[in-house]
Amino acid sequence: MKPFAFFTLLAGLILMPASAQTVVIKAGHLVDVASGTVKDNQSILVEDGKITAVGDRVVAPDGTPVIDLSDQYVMPGLIDAHTHLALMEMDGSDINDFGSYYYASLIEDTSMRVAQGTQMARSMIEAGFVWARDTGNNGLYGDVTLRRAIEGGWIPGPNMVTAGRMIAPFGGQFQMQPEKPGLGNPEYLYADSHDELVRAVRENVHYGATFLKLIIDNQPYIYSEEDVRVAVDEAHDMGVKVMSHAMSDEGIRNAVLGGVDSIEHGWQISDETLQLMKDHGTYLVGTDFPAARIGETRYQANVDRNKRARKIGVKLAFGSDAVYYEEGRTRGEQTLDFLRSYVDADFPNAFILQMATMNGADLLGANSGEIKVGKNADIIAMYHNPLDDIEALRGVQFVMKDGEVYKEGGKFTRETPRVLNNPRRKQQRGNMLGQN
């Protein structure tokens, strides 16, 4: 055995918890998001962070602690598949104005972005979001730092999938000036050739990105199908998925034909291209801002897009794109506002819950999204039935992530770090030392 491997093993043994956490949850009303039904008087056995039994006759070891949620509706934790936990636009009154984002990228260094993200991550899990896909706009890998801090047990927050730096043609989403061509750094990795695309993919993954993001069509020059294919093939060879920021119909088509796993935004999309997405199994993550922020005309256009996408059968996952500041409201509270466009599109509440749980888990590659044997114990509960009213999600009283309780009785319970017993921290240490 190599010396460093021996010491890694020894450290792991020292840090191992004395016994795996086992608990029984008494669920008065268990929401099955896959079927859109409720089963009463169910029990959930959680062992070592996973669900090992579900039903009305669950047998647990003698002395197993019981969490009594017999008066609540219990369901899988929520998933936001498009967010920016390391970005806070202080203005954000007009989402069509990228000036506030540009300004934030210039004056907020990465350490400040991570500091802001620490509070926003806590608010997300407090609101019931157990997974989040951070989609860029985070300085120099601020999202990766935030994810590692959560995985290491230093701060509370959802499990994260992180995009690192966005890959884009020169300029990204900004209009640059020739005297200062570097103002887009470090938000973007500019890549204008196939070699540069391959390098950008590899650099991102090397520095900790776990899901890459391509900016397709924010400039007069856009990525072609061949450009997208080069980046996607390189990423998929490493087991890393690719999302694409794409709004024009041409850009979306190029991204879908190039093999991306999801289209972000997709506001100007035709029925023909929606059918192409269905045929390729490409997810749409709509990111539909409330009407108060983008205006009624654009909001209704998004509602119509949602109706068309569901009718055609496109795979849909919930994503917010929340980036703005509102006095007295947390990022978690804001995120729930983005469900409204699906209600206004006449989506059944059961389908909206699927988008925000099992569909999101499928897109992110997370072992979550349903309460069934073998899934991670990512569980939330509330007093009212979200199948009757999606607004019930605003009343989350209980949050469990990976078998650990973060909120109970409506109060946040995870204030102190749980560093020593965190298995992901040990895995990180092994990976850094070359152990698999």
Domain of 111, CATH number, reads 3.20.20.140
Tokens at residue 332, please? 């978690």
| 433 inside domain | no
**Residues 350 and 386 placed together within one structural domain of the fold:** no
| 176 inside domain | yes
pLDDT for res 332: 97
pLDDT-above-90 percentage for the chain: 80
Q: In what order do the strands lie in the sheet with 262-265?
A: 188-190, 166-168, 211-215, 241-246, 262-265, 283-285
**Residues 119 and 44 placed together within one structural domain of the fold:** no
pLDDT for res 90: 65
Task: Decide if pLDDT at 93 tops 90.
Answer: no
Residue 241's contacts (CB-CB under 8 Å, 6 or more residues apart) are: 211, 212, 235, 261, 262, 363, 365
Name the residue range of residue 292's domain.
78-364
pLDDT for res 415: 76
Task: Decide if pLDDT at 202 tops 60.
Answer: yes
| 217 inside domain | yes
Residue with more model confidence, 106 or 258: 258
pLDDT digits (tens, 9 = 90+) for 214-231: 999 999 999 999 999 999
**Residues 303 and 154 placed together within one structural domain of the fold:** yes
**Residues 263 and 117 placed together within one structural domain of the fold:** yes
Task: Decide if pLDDT at 160 tops 60.
Answer: yes
Task: Decide if pLDDT at 194 tops 50.
Answer: yes
| 33 inside domain | yes
Q: Which of 333, 364, 395 is the last residue of a domain?
A: 364
Domain of 399, CATH number, reads 2.30.40.10
Residue with more model confidence, 344 or 100: 344
pLDDT digits (tens, 9 = 90+) for 300-328: 999 999 999 999 999 999 999 999 889 99
pLDDT digits (tens, 9 = 90+) for 408-433: 999 999 876 766 455 454 454 444 44
Q: Smallest Cα–Cα separation from 94: which of 334, 335, 293? A: 293
Task: Decide if pLDDT at 19 tops 60.
Answer: no
**Residues 332 and 390 placed together within one structural domain of the fold:** no
CA 406 to chain centre: 18
| 245 inside domain | yes
Residue with more model confidence, 177 or 52: 52
Tokens at residue 406, please? 């973060």
- Average pLDDT score over residue span 180-209: 95
Are the CB atoms for 401 and 50 separated by under 8 Å? no
**Residues 217 and 319 placed together within one structural domain of the fold:** yes
pLDDT for res 182: 85
Number of structural domains (the chain) is 2
pLDDT for res 101: 66
**Residues 60 and 192 placed together within one structural domain of the fold:** no
**Residues 204 and 344 placed together within one structural domain of the fold:** yes
| 376 inside domain | yes
pLDDT for res 17: 36
Predicted TM-score (pTM) of this structure: 0.91
**Residues 61 and 164 placed together within one structural domain of the fold:** no
| 431 inside domain | no
**Residues 270 and 379 placed together within one structural domain of the fold:** no
Helix (H, G, I), strand (E, B) or coil at 270: coil
| 430 inside domain | no
Q: Which of 364, 380, 411 is the last residue of a domain?
A: 364
**Residues 60 and 97 placed together within one structural domain of the fold:** no
Task: Decide if pLDDT at 80 tops 90.
Answer: yes
pLDDT digits (tens, 9 = 90+) for 53-76: 999 999 998 999 999 999 999 999
pLDDT for res 295: 94
**Residues 19 and 109 placed together within one structural domain of the fold:** no
Are the CB atoms for 156 and 414 separated by under 8 Å? yes
User: With bands split at pLDDT 50, 70 and 90, how would you rate the model's confidence at 100?
Assistant: low
pLDDT for res 276: 98
Q: Which of 364, 379, 397 is the last residue of a domain?
A: 364
CA 248 to chain centre: 24
